[in-house]
Structure 1
Amino acid sequence: MGVPESYKGAVVLREDTEMFSGLPSQSRDPAKSLTLREVPTPEPGVGEVLVAVMASSINYNTVWSSIFEPVPTFGFLRRYASQVPSAGIHDQPFHVLGSDMSGVVLRVGAGVRRWKPGDKVVAHCLSVELSEADGHDDSMLDPEQRIWGYETNYGGLAQLSLVKANQLMPKPAHLTWEESAVSGLVHSTAYRQLISRNGARVKLGDVVLIWGAAGGLGSYATQLALRAGATPVCVVSSRAKADLVRSQGAELIIDRAAEGYRFWSDPDTPDPKEWKRFGARIRDLTGGDDPDVVFEHPGRETMGASVYVARRGGTIVTCASTSGYQHQYDNRYLWMGLKRIVGTHFANYREAWEANRLIAKGVVHPTLSAVYGLDDVGLAARRVHQNEHSGKVGVLALAPRPGLGIDAPEFRASHVEQIERFREGDAHDTVSG
């Protein structure tokens, strides 16, 4: 296959890292910093693969990158290049973002055996070197573990992408390009948090509190809890999102906005009375049970409540911290309740592969809600930043329109209602780019 000398990628620029200086996070607009630029095509090195990207998606790390919080990502690229001799190409004045991708293998580097040009693939976002012993039991513990498209360059929000061969997995045959592209990061993260031995190990009968149950992470966590035989208690922020979660099979739902929960009296003072009210509401729904597991990812806003409401001996499993990294909770409820906090971060290759297999078998379904063209990637990121979305927001790259890439139409037909459950309708889809 022919390979162009350059391609279009959604980038942030090193020269723009101070453009939002002094502005609070919510006032920073990804559409102002995240732009489409022509970038040179990288040559795949040993163990690397160049992929023609059909579609990608917006994750919260794209938002962080585009508003330069908590730090600009160019420091990640510089350290990668200095620590790994073969990674010098990643240190550029531009950063091509994106930690999800579906596409077609275009060219492979030396030593790649599993994949060949023409293979249809999806990517997970774990980039590891595995030159240290620590990563060989769980590659997430590799001291040189990085998130592709966030801590490395040449991510998935582009026409081409550079990945390691051990990031690739087979594309689910019954899904479109855009549907295939949205699950990799969030589903694998939720799988490790809830199902894996490295997370909470949810089992039959557990009560699982899921924050943001209609969002990117939460929409997959809800499905995984249900498939595991657990009882999810789903927290959402609107009636429409409650209806979406209910349509997935969840029955116990808390509309946080409608019920007026405010876990902080002011920006510096948590409100334990609200934790108590929230815990009582959970017990009302469950018939008196506290959560065995709390699926925690908002962070600062909710962590105090999460520690409080978990049952005695329960587990709070946490990642992301989209509302802030500095958590505050009352440690008496943790230590005297013999509770534990488990930190998880993305997933290793095996966990990602198992999560992708569930998608391919129609056990778990993508939660794609809207599709944007690559030209509108800034608008798509802005929407996620402002929490105006449900499920996942997809971005078309080389795919000229939504709906392409299906190779198993009969199998799809038996699952199409679940696959399209989160879709908002054609009015939200664009095909620019």
Structure 2
Amino acid sequence: MDALTEAVLSGASPEELAAAPVPGDYLAAHLRVEDVHMFDGMNDGDDKDVRKSLRVGTVPMPELAPDEVLVAVMASSINYNTVWSAMFEPLPTFGFLERFAATGGYARRHDLPYHVLGSDGAGVIVRVGDGVRRWRPGDHVVISPSYVDDQEPATHGDGMMGAEQRVWGFETNFGGLAHYTVARASQLAPKPAHLTWEEAASIPLCAVTAYRMLISQRGTPIKLGDLVLIWGAAGGLGAYAVQMVKAAGGVPIGVVGSERKADLLRRLGCDVVIDRNEIGLGGRPPATPGETIAAGKRLGRAIRAATGEDPHVVFDYVGRDTFGISTFVVRRGGAVVTCGSSTGFAHEYDNRYLWMNLKRIVGSHAANLQETWECLRLFARGVLVPTLATQYPLEDVAEAARLVQLNEHQGKVGVLCLAPEPGMGVTDPGFRARVGEDRLHALRG
């Protein structure tokens, strides 16, 4: 173990961390450019097993830019962008790194024959660039995935609107599934003191994305009493959406694929839980416009039977398999808000039900720094809790990603990086006790 890692794990002071030498390389989950064609010739339905492409090994330590920090990553988590990356779909991420490098300056570091993945992270700052003012070694932080260019005019209106906005660890190199990571100071927020490293690391990407979609004025902000249909409600994004709808005074309506996941949602306080198998949506997705409308009618009847109304908002990150149903089932004047497409990007829907009923489709992507801090404040106050369900060591990151690839997970799948065991990192045990282990562990076991 190198001296800096030893200092981090021993809880060294800021001065001791600053004095410990930075290692020349570090352990990281990464892709290799020579593997990008390994799945060529396979069809959409074939099994592009991410365990074949995800590697864990040492990579060189990158140079630190003036506006960046070096973080010792205690824990990270799996997001679907890591699955897409490891499948090299919809295209290899090495193209992202090349285009980023072409912008010049320190961006040129990112164009390498390997890509360190990971868009979540919680850890300890061990170095700060010369231009960093608000952070210092020893600070406990979580890392937002929103990597923005502060020299773009649009960024100063909304960080997500800049043309050079990127997702860290997906469209940039040196991501969070590693022992160390490089992040811009504008990505950081304080770690909630009552959470473990792995709990805190399960928050950033999914929780802040759901916050922008449902709470921020830049998404489809819900109001007291709104009915919100949430696809994949026991997943990482969905379980945060359930909590936010509930906390905002809305009525979460969760759709899941098993009784086990339905039970998890009830533990989270989801008002209405619909098992898609019970309404004929558990097999193959609708293949024709007629099948989509029929499926939408079945889902609509189930929602009205439980609530007496149609949903005001549909929260959809599933994509191709659900989007046509979403646009059909949302009420007149309602909105479908989408942030991703885990089952495919090419969506089909019957536009008559959209335009003639004055419905809206709202695209949303991650969150700006203000939204991130607002969202993290709710965790720090115990209003929201992490949706961590399980965790793997970094050495088994490919198995963790495979679990998400097969949709055999619930909540968030954590990855222990430098943290040698789960349960570490809590600095406010009193508040943790007040929040309660039952709430914090609602999706585990």
Normalising by structure 2, we get a TM-score of: 0.93
> How far off is 1:265 after superposition?
4.4
Match of 2:301 among 280, 287, 292: 280
Residue of structure 2 aligned with 1:52, choices 65, 69, 72? 72
SS of 2:149's partner is: coil
Aligned equivalent of 1:9 = 28
- 3-state SS of paired residue (2:102): helix
Task: Work out whether residues 130 and 144 of structure 1, in 8 Å CA contact, stay in contact via their aligned partners in 2.
Answer: no
Provide the secondary structure at the position in 2 that maps to 1:240: helix
Matches within 5 A, 1:286-365: 286-287=307-308, 289-365=309-385
Q: CA offset at residue 264 of structure 1?
A: 4.2
Selected match of 1:78 from 98, 113, 118: 98
Q: Work out the CA distance in 1 between the residues paired with 2:43 and 2:389.
A: 28
Q: Which residue of 2 aligns with 1:19?
A: 38
Q: Which amino acid is 2:73 matched to? A: V
1:407 to 414, 427, 431: 427
Q: Aligned letter for 1:8?
A: L
Matched residue SS, 1:352:
helix
Shift of 1:134: 1.7
Equivalent residue runs for 1:99-138 within 5 Å: 99-138=119-158
Offset at residue 413 of structure 1 (A)? 1.1
* Preserved contact between residue 374 and residue 395 of structure 1 (Cα < 8 Å): yes
Q: Which one of the candidate residues 205, 208, 216 is aligned to 1:188?
A: 208
The letter for the 2-side match of 1:78 is: E
Cα distance, 1:422 vs structure 2 = 1.0
Partner in structure 2 of residue 238 of structure 1: 258
Distance between the aligned counterparts of 2:274 and 2:433, measured in 1? 32
Find the counterpart in structure 2 of residue 215 from structure 1: 235
Amino acid at match of 1:282: I
The separation in 2 between residues aligned to 1:67 and 1:269, in whole angstroms, is: 32
With normalisation by structure 1, the TM-score equals 0.96
The answer as to whether partners of 2:233 and 2:255 remain within 8 angstroms in 1 is: yes
User: Which segment drifts farther, 352-361 or 216-225?
Assistant: 352-361
Flag the 1:391–1:83 CA change in 2: closer, same or farther, 3 A: same
User: 1:270, CA displacement in angstroms?
Assistant: 4.5
- For residue 227 of structure 1, what is the aligned residue in structure 2? 247
Residues in 1 aligned to 2:397 and 2:218: alpha-carbon distance in whole angstroms: 34
Larger mean Cα displacement after TM superposition, 278-287 or 94-103 = 278-287
Tell me the CA shift for residue 23 of structure 1: 2.2
Aligned to 2:442: 421
Aligned partner letter, 2:393:
G
Indicate whether 1:249 and 2:269 are aligned. Answer: yes
Is contact 1:299–1:323 with CA below 8 Å preserved after alignment? yes
Aligned-residue CA RMSD in angstroms?
1.3
| Alpha-carbon distance in 2 for matches of 1:265, 1:364 | 35
> Amino acid of the residue matched to residue 112 of structure 2?
Q
Separation in 2 of the partners of 1:110 and 1:265?
55
How many Å separate the matches in 2 of 1:67 and 1:89?
24
- Equivalent pairs: percent with the same residue? 54
For 1:387-406, list aligned pairs within 5 A.
387-406=407-426
**Structure 1 residue 263, shift from structure 2 partner:** 7.7
Deviation at 1:258, TM superposition (A): 3.2
Q: Take 2:403 and 2:290, find their aligned partners in 1: how far apart are those partners?
A: 29
Counterpart residue type for residue 316 of structure 1: V
Distance 1:344 1:271 in 2: 24
Superposed CA offset, 1:256-281 (max 9, x none): 12332268443797431111111111
Correspondence 1:140-219 to 2 at 5 A: 140-219=160-239
- How many residues align structurally? 423
User: Is structure 2 residue 29 aligned with structure 1 residue 42?
Assistant: no
In 2, the alpha carbon distance for the partners of 1:12 and 1:334 equals 41
Deviation of residue 360 (structure 1)? 1.1
Q: Structure 2: how far apart are the matches of 1:131 and 1:177?
A: 32
Tell me, yes or no, if the aligned pair for 1:124 and 1:352 is still in contact at 8 Å.
Answer: yes
1:122 & 1:279 partners in 2: Cα distance?
39
**1:275-300 deviations in Å (ceiling 9; x for gaps):** 1111111111112x111111111111
Identify if the C-alpha distance between structure 1 residues 60 and 265 changes in structure 2 by more than 3 Å, giving closer, same or farther: closer
The letter for the 1-side match of 2:376 is N
Out of 287, 294, 306, which is 1:266 matched to?
287
C-alpha contact 2:292 2:325 (8 A) present in aligned 1? no
Contact residue 289 and residue 350 of structure 2 kept, 8 A: no
Secondary structure class of the residue paired with 1:100: coil
Aligned residue type for 1:7: Y
Task: Kindly indicate whether the alpha-carbon contact (under 8 Å) linking 1:238 and 1:258 is maintained by their aligned counterparts in 2.
Answer: no
Displacement of 1:408: 0.7
Q: Once the two structures are superposed, what CA deviation does each residue of 1:151-172 show, in whole Å capped at 9, x if it has no partner?
A: 0000000000000001011011
After superposition, what is the alpha-carbon deviation per residue over 1:47-91, rounded to whole angstroms, capped at 9, x for unaligned? 000000100000000000011011100000000000142211100
- The letter for the 2-side match of 1:423 is R
Counterpart Cα distance in 1 of 2:269 and 2:292: 32
